[in-house]
Amino acid sequence: MVDYKTTPGMMYDFLVNQCGFKFFKLNSWLEGLAPLSKTEFAIICEEGSAWNFLATPYG
């Protein structure tokens, strides 16, 4: 995200707060777990522990 001058928090705010999506790690969604919080997403991005995410509409 550095190349695009964005932060994980900015990406989360856009997808969740502006677009109305829920944000998951792929395996969490498959297991029926809760969506990621903004803090969880930021930590995962900073650690580089996951690269693939899934955004689904609320509803």
Task: Report which DSSP code applies to 21.
Answer: E
Query: What pLDDT was estimated at residue 1?
Result: 60
Residue 8 domain boundaries: 2-57
Q: How many domains does the chain have?
A: 1
pTM of the model: 0.83
Give the whole-angstrom CA distance, residue 40 versus residue 44. Answer: 6
Cα–Cα dist 21/55, whole Å: 6
H-helix or E-strand spanning residue 12: helix 8-12
User: Could you tell me the mean pLDDT of each successive run of 10 residues in the chain, 59 residues long?
Assistant: 83 94 94 96 92 88
What pLDDT, on a 0 to 100 scale, did the predictor assign at position 20? 94
